[in-house]
């Protein structure tokens, strides 16, 4: 079995585009997150700083949230296989079907194993983040009217990966000694979603007990 370090080396994070201004905003976001973690107040890290466009703030942070869950799943859930997880679920009450209107293969809701579902999901999110018409990086180029709805769709789908991890792979995370890291990343994810009303309350049901403990 590969060590956590060895497995994580294969992970390639996405960096926000947009030149110096967007890079500076990402650095500011990371600095605020560090300070908030030190102060024990992650909610503060989610608030858009004064003087910055909220959509720019959402754009930068969505990249970071995507990288966090991508790394957690990719480096710590080695036992998530077609055999161990033949369906993508969050316990017996919640099963997720994959649909991608842009794909010939998945135009209608399709049952997939968890690893195939997560692969399709991460590829889909990556395509959205790379699309200049959705996440513009050119200075002065406006965000589309559909931007907020796309961000909500991304957050809803990324939440499902957390839900699967907590219900099916928590023991594996604990064995890696990474439970505290998972908890911090998930708390940041939920707080950010709540700050900007990006997560439907009903969608949170599979992890409502976990969220209540945050």
Average pLDDT over residues 38-54: 79
Q: Is the pLDDT of residue 66 over 60?
A: yes
Q: Is the pLDDT of residue 112 over 70?
A: yes
d(CA 64, CA 175): 25
Positive or negative, the CA dihedral 135, 137, 139, 141 is: negative
SS (H, E, C) 92-119: CCCECCECCCCCCCCCCCECCCHHHHHH
**Would you place residue 36 in the very low, low, confident or very high pLDDT band (cuts 50, 70, 90)?**
low
pLDDT score of 41: 74
More confident residue, 155 or 213: 155
Average pLDDT over residues 171-175: 93
In the chain the first and final C-alpha atoms are separated, in Å, by: 32
Whole-model pTM over 0.75: yes
d(CA 190, CA 184): 10
| 16-27 confidence digits (pLDDT tens) | 555 445 556 556
- Of the CATH numbers 3.40.50.450, 1.10.3720.10, 1.20.140.30, 3.40.50.300, which one belongs to the domain with range 17-212? 1.20.140.30
| 68-91 confidence digits (pLDDT tens) | 999 999 988 999 999 999 999 999
Alpha-helical (H) ranges within the chain are: 4-8, 19-39, 42-46, 54-76, 114-130, 147-168, 170-175, 179-195, 208-212
Per the prediction, the chain carries an average pLDDT of 85
| 49-63 confidence digits (pLDDT tens) | 888 889 999 998 999
CB 117 within 8 A of CB 157: no
Structure token pair of residue 185: 């990343």
Structure token pair of residue 193: 């979603």
């Amino acid at each position: 079995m590969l060590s956590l370090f060895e497995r994580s080396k294969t992970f390639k994070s996405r960096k926000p585009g947009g030149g110096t201004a967007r890079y500076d905003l990402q650095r500011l976001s990371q600095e605020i997150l560090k300070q908030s973690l030190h102060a024990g107040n992650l909610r503060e890290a989610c608030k858009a700083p004064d003087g910055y466009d909220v959509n720019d703030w959402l754009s930068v942070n969505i990249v970071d949230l995507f990288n966090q869950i991508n790394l957690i799943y990719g480096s710590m859930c080695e036992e998530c296989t077609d055999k161990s997880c033949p369906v993508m679920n969050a316990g017996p009450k919640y099963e997720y079907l994959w649909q991608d209107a842009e794909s010939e293969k998945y135009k209608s809701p399709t049952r997939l194993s968890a690893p195939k579902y997560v692969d399709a999901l991460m590829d889909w999110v990556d395509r959205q983040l790379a699309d200049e018409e959705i996440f513009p990086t050119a200075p002065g180029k406006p965000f589309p009217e559909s931007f907020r709805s796309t961000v909500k769709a991304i957050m809803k789908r990324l939440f499902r990966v957390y839900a699967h991890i907590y219900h099916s792979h928590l023991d594996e995370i604990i064995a890696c000694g990474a439970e505290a890291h998972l908890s911090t990343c998930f708390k940041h994810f939920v707080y950010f979603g709540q700050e900007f009303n990006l997560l439907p309350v009903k969608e949170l049901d599979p992890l409502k007990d976990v969220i209540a403990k945050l």
